[in-house]
Amino acid sequence: MSDSVVINPASLPATGSFRLRMILAFFAIYFLWGTTFLAIRIAVEELPPFFAAGTRFFIAGIALYAFMRVKGAALPTPAQWRNLAIMALTMFVAEYGPLFWAEKFVPSGIVSVLAATIPILTLILEMLILRQQHFRVSILLSSLLGFAGVGLLLLRGNGLSFPLVPCIAVLAGSVSWSLGAVLSRSMDLPSARPLTAGAIMMLGGVGLLLLSASFGELHPLPHISLRAALAVLYLIVFGSLVAFTAYIWLLAHMPASSVSSYAYVNPVVAVALGHFAAAEPVTARTLAGTALVIFSVFLTLHQPKPASPPKQKAQSA
């Protein structure tokens, strides 16, 4: 989702209470979001992947949507519901379906690194396909650096290698998320960000559960062990409600470039947690590929802002 609000850091409140909230919010998007990749792996070890993903987002989405409606947020219009459904399809069904499935075959830390390419893919879509940004050599070089890291991770040969199809599925899902994020900037959406997020998660959850049913995951109904239930509950509460609410709060109080820094912190947390808590293998090649991707994302998110092109008249929905 685009952030059209420009924050002046000098104008932010400097009270101790605000600083504490800011520290806790960054902890949520840095650490809690980073831990969700291991939680996903734990969930899909015992639950069908589309069912696990659909349950997470449907419950979290309906809870957030209902909360915002009780607080007085307006109902989306029919046109807005259509746009929300498009975003749910591109940013949740097509992104998290493959990601949950891939974690049955690929270590959670590697999946987090592949998913961290989203800022790179978004800029490529804006620059080369949708023509929303001017071509810049610096973007091209940072993108090539990131994909060199991905190639290093997927390189086959002596030592550890990962299944190619699940890795490509994660990258394809990242492309879909990037497309949805870019398209959302020209969409008519509800003004209340949390309501929009809740509606998208809710619709995405419905889509993932329908996908689960079409793949036969619900026949018979999956047995949900306590371990799997706790993993899904963790994803709902800490991944989709606490961390996302913190993300929304930070966007309203901090520069977007600072908030976006979670994109290169999450893989560090996920790789370390996967290795030390779940004994996921980490080799020198894994560390080198991860470092290239993270450095590429850092360069991508710190590109100098070009002069804005003349605005085109948006087509009516």
- For residue 188, tell me if it sits in a domain: yes
CB 116 within 8 A of CB 176: no
* 245, two tokens: 């609410």
pTM: 0.84
User: What's the confidence (pLDDT) of residue 313?
Assistant: 36
- For residue 314, tell me if it sits in a domain: no
For 221-278, write each residue's pLDDT tens digit.
999 999 999 999 999 999 999 998 898 888 778 876 678 788 889 999 999 999 999 9
H or E stretch at 197? helix 193-214
Label residue 112 by pLDDT band (50, 70, 90).
very high
- For residue 1, tell me if it sits in a domain: no
The whole-number average pLDDT for the span 287-298 is 90
Q: Is 31 exposed, middle or buried (0-12, 13-18, 19+ CB in 10 A)?
A: middle
The whole-number average pLDDT for the span 214-218 is 95
* 122, two tokens: 């978004």
- For residue 10, tell me if it sits in a domain: no
- For residue 191, tell me if it sits in a domain: yes
DSSP, collapsed to helix, strand or coil, labels residue 91 as helix
pLDDT at residue 14 is higher than 50: yes
- For residue 189, tell me if it sits in a domain: yes
- Of 95, 302, 104, which Cα lies nearest the Cα of 211? 95
CB 47 within 8 A of CB 230: no
pLDDT at residue 182 is higher than 80: yes
User: Which residues does 122 contact at the CB level (< 8 Å), separation at least 6?
Assistant: 178, 181, 182
User: What's the confidence (pLDDT) of residue 201?
Assistant: 95
The whole-number average pLDDT for the span 130-152 is 80
- For residue 312, tell me if it sits in a domain: no
pLDDT at residue 317 is higher than 60: no
Say how many domains are in the chain. Answer: 1
User: What's the confidence (pLDDT) of residue 159?
Assistant: 59
User: Which residues does 224 contact at the CB level (< 8 Å), separation at least 6?
Assistant: 46, 47, 232
User: What's the confidence (pLDDT) of residue 57?
Assistant: 97
Range of the structural domain that residue 98 is part of: 17-301
The whole-number average pLDDT for the span 171-196 is 90
Range from 4-18, 57-71, 238-252, 270-284 that averages highest in pLDDT: 57-71
Instruction: Kindly state the percentage of the chain with pLDDT values over 90.
Output: 57
- For residue 4, tell me if it sits in a domain: no
